[in-house]
A and B are shown apart, each in its own frame.
Chain A
Amino acid sequence: MAAAVAEAHRREWGFVLAATVRATRDLDLAEECVQDAYAQALSTWGPRGVPANPGAWLTTVARRRAVDLQRREERLRRTLPLLLDDRVVPGPDDAEEEDVPDDRLRLIFTCCHPAIAVEAQVALTLRLLCGLTTAEVARAFLVTEPTMAARITRAKKKIAAARIPYRVPPAEELPARIEAVLTVVHLLFTTGQTAPAGDDLVRRDLVERSLDLARMLRTLLATDADVAGLLALILLTDARRATRVAEDGRLLLLEDQDRSRWDRQAISEGVALVREALHRRPPGRYALMAAIAAVHAEAPSWSETDWGEVLALYDLLVGIWPSPVVALNRAVALGLARGPEAGLRAVDALAGEPQLAGYAYLAAARADFLRRLGRVEEARAAYRGALELTENGIERDFLASRLRQLGP
């Protein structure tokens, strides 16, 4: 029973909360009522069985609870205004199991509103859409719980006080607003993919939440090419998860991974999505990054990788997204396509970029090309530089072992 409720928590939290927020127009009250509904599920699903539609059941219970609380507290003075909605709010009693609307898009557009700081957008999304506790969100981003609680409270207050609306933006604003939502989901994924610090390379919880969110967006915005591109990128990158760390805990680069253990189902789903996303001209950045991941996913081995194709895709990517980090990745691809000398030249050309000062992957890329060129002394200096900038334990071990291989 607890397992069924836990499953419903993972799958339905965002749906139930979003539908409840539309009834209460108050984020805190809605969260409280949804918590209560899950508690009630724990005590009643056992004797009566799990309902056919757990999300609708939970929503109905949460909305009833909200009506009770609102009646009881009617005399209490409200400190914050209610959220704004763009249609008449139906009473909770007409919410029969069949017609609970899907309000998750409203909720995610509110959480990822550009008037909220990106770090708070991420926190709100994890908390409200994914149902993580404040403690869990704090742990994911390596801040203390009071700091994260303050960040979330401040953002919620701003939503109410500045009247950030609870609705899906109109068509003319939609592309920019979808971009903001995708930025948050992508940030969650990359943070999970290589944890900024600590002993684990991957924060599985964050990766899985980002995958859930991308799938949700795919369901709700089925025709958007950027959404398809991001879901493809996550699937294709995450398909390699099991092979990124060896059994003894060592980091394994793409070159050394056991490709027979890559998740073929995720890869075929991702490849189909990439094809769809690339139909749009010009393709978006997620579609291009996913296409690069697809080239790797479909290559039988490292040496048989089509580096010319990878480089061509990076050229397109730099064209639409001229960021120094993308340029660095392109430089690495160039080195693999045309040899370490060319790669080193391209990496060194970026050394003056202020955004890459202190960026460990630049030092690591230099080190690798120097090593391949047999310039041992310089390679060692570069590995030492990369080590100083790296805080993830598994990445540190990898750099240290490369340094050892270069001799004393």
Chain B
Amino acid sequence: MAQYLVLIYEDEASYANADAAVYEQVMKAHNEFGEKNGASLRGGNALQPTSTATSIRRDASGNIAVTDGPFAETKEALGGYYMIEAPDLDAAIAVAKQVPARFGGVEVRPVMVFD
């Protein structure tokens, strides 16, 4: 078995403009996904929007700069993730296809194994 991180990228503006009914549907969809795929799930979280993000990196002179905002500004931003376990990429894709992402999509990344 291998672990894959399923990163959920969605358009934040669409969520910002959505009403309560949409949020309810999204919650319900994620709950259903979780129940159906409990055997494969190893964790997962939703993230606060990128407006709450803080980026930290070294500038050219070696000083650590702390700045407001995400690492890269993109229309579709990382908004949550699931950690799943699957025997191979086809099985991981089969689970990832079911992850709700009505305002975007998901990216599947194998977790590196050090031995």
Contact = CB atoms under 8 A, between A and B. Distances in A.
B59 interface: no
A405 to B, nearest CB: 52
B87 interface: yes
Contacts of A163: 2, 87-89, 92, 110
B: contact size bracket: 10 to 19
B111 to A, nearest CB: 10
B109 to A, nearest CB: 8
Nearest to A166: B88
Interface in A110-131: 113, 115
A115 B93 contact: yes
B86 to A, nearest CB: 8
Interface string B67-107: 00000000000000000000111101100000000000000
Contact of A169 (B2, B87, B90, B113): B90
Contact of A162 (B87, B110, B115): B110
A88 B96 CA distance: 28
A135 to B, nearest CB: 30
Interface residues of A, number: 12
Contacts, number: 27
Contact of A165 (B88, B113, B115): B88
A150 interface: no
B88 A84 contact: yes
Q: Which of A77, A163, A169 has the most B CB atoms < 10 Å from its CB?
A: A163
B92 to A, nearest CB: 8
A161 interface: yes
Contacts of B88: 84, 163-165
A328 B66 CA distance: 56
A81 interface: yes
Interface in A84-130: 84, 113, 115
Contact of A115 (B89, B113, B115): B89
Contacts of B90: 164-165, 169, 173
Contacts of A77: 115
5 contacts: A77-B115, A81-B113, A84-B87, A163-B2, A165-B89
Interface of B: 2, 87-90, 92-93, 108, 110, 112-113, 115
